[in-house]
Amino acid sequence: MTSHGCSHGCSQEDGNLEEQTLQARMRDIGMKLLVLSGKGGVGKSTVAANLAMALAMKGYKVGLLDVDVHGPSIPRLMGLEGQRVQADGPELIPLEVTENLKVMSVGFLLDSAADPVIWRGPMKYSIIRQFLADVDWGKLDYLVVDAPPGTGDEPLAVAQLVGQPAGAVIVTTPQELAIADVRRSVSFCRSVGLPVLGIIENMSSYACPHCGGTLDLFKTGGGERLAQEMQVPMLGKIPFDPQTVSSGDSGQPLVQCFAESAAAKAFAPIVAAVSQPRSAAVPVTITERKDSSMKIAIPMADGRLCMHFGHCEQFALVEVDEASKKTLKTTHLTPPPHEPGLLPRWLQEQGATVIIAGGMGQRAQGLFAQNQIKVVTGAPAETPDVLVADYLAGTLQLGSNTCDH
């Protein structure tokens, strides 16, 4: 099979070694929990920090990874501001908060909290991959990942890299403005094959520390209605509590320093749900196809895979039977003129469910995911029949996506 190289001098062997290192590291982690939100300001980082600490307090070995490269909040929330990450040879050493909880954040790489982070998609992908592959987490029961809001480069990179088992915990506030954005997060997870473990409604109500009464600041029940609409579990409702602000400023998670508060107690059912076996705790709704057929798109030039998918001469659209692993039909299509975002929509209209590519940028991968097309990158410049046969057999040799553009 033809080796896949790139202009950066990488080889398929290098890519395979990097991939093996990443997979070996991920195999040492029992469950990856991606904490996501459709918009900022819903308290996602606070939820991630408290969820990680609550799991650690239950005796689980936990890692907390902050990949919000533009606004890392975890160092402040965990009392680690100003700390710098240490290295042991090629490995990065996470900071220990307790015996059971280790933390890594992009914030540990910055000289000061005021430093802006101006990175493009490929750089973000590289740092997230490094955090997952090169950080010496050791053996963990859980890795809690605090992803930035939205459905952009960082959540996509984590979803593609962490492997299985993994699941999304989606945070919202009750008002409709937040709910609309979170709805897109659920759709994003389904597009990239990431099971949604459930929805948390944060700031569900105001818990008065004096009288114990509650007041609906942003209405209530929006998260519950969304969970019913999208057919995903409702994990819990966390009231707004003034002690949440105090704990964040002091660098101690709420569940640790104000364990008897209403907000801290609200994490108990959430921890119980995500720490159960997935089959028992989080039934995942999957849209079933009526048959086992699927269509695989392959960008081509001179009869082989074209490394620059956006400028290929043709697409081979190969219809296969997934169950029997047989090719049913191959159609060669001329793509429309290259415009940003056009090819994913066009291929989705042709019925494509998978695209096999050489290198592809993170933004493009996100657009394919939004159009419910699975992306396979790092493929060699082979003919469509060889690529499809190897893909169906699970033997397709992939290099790293270092030709990201």
Residues 6+ apart with CB under 8 A from 85: 92, 93, 94, 95, 104, 108, 109
Res 222: pLDDT: 65
Kindly report, residue by residue over 257-299, the tens digit of the pLDDT: 787 888 888 898 899 888 865 433 333 333 334 456 789 999 9
pLDDT band with cut points at 50, 70 and 90 for residue 152: low
Q: Which CATH architecture has domain 12-281?
A: 3-Layer(aba) Sandwich (3.40)
Do 12-281 and 293-393 show the same overall fold? no
Average pLDDT over residues 373-391: 89
Q: Where are the domains of the chain?
A: 12-281, 293-393
Q: How many whole angstroms separate alpha carbon 341 and alpha carbon 207?
A: 45
Question: What is the reported pLDDT for 130?
Answer: 80
Q: What is the CATH number assigned to the segment(s) 293-393?
A: 3.30.420.130
User: Which of 23-37, 47-61, 272-286, 368-382 reaches the highest mean pLDDT?
Assistant: 47-61
Residue with tokens 């008065």: 208
Read off the pTM.
Answer: 0.64
Residue 365 pLDDT level (bands cut at 50, 70, 90): confident
Give the β-pairing of 140-146 and 62-66: parallel
Q: Report which listed range, 51-55, 189-193, 236-240, 320-324, is most confident.
A: 51-55
Task: Enumerate the β-bridge partners of residue 54.
Answer: none
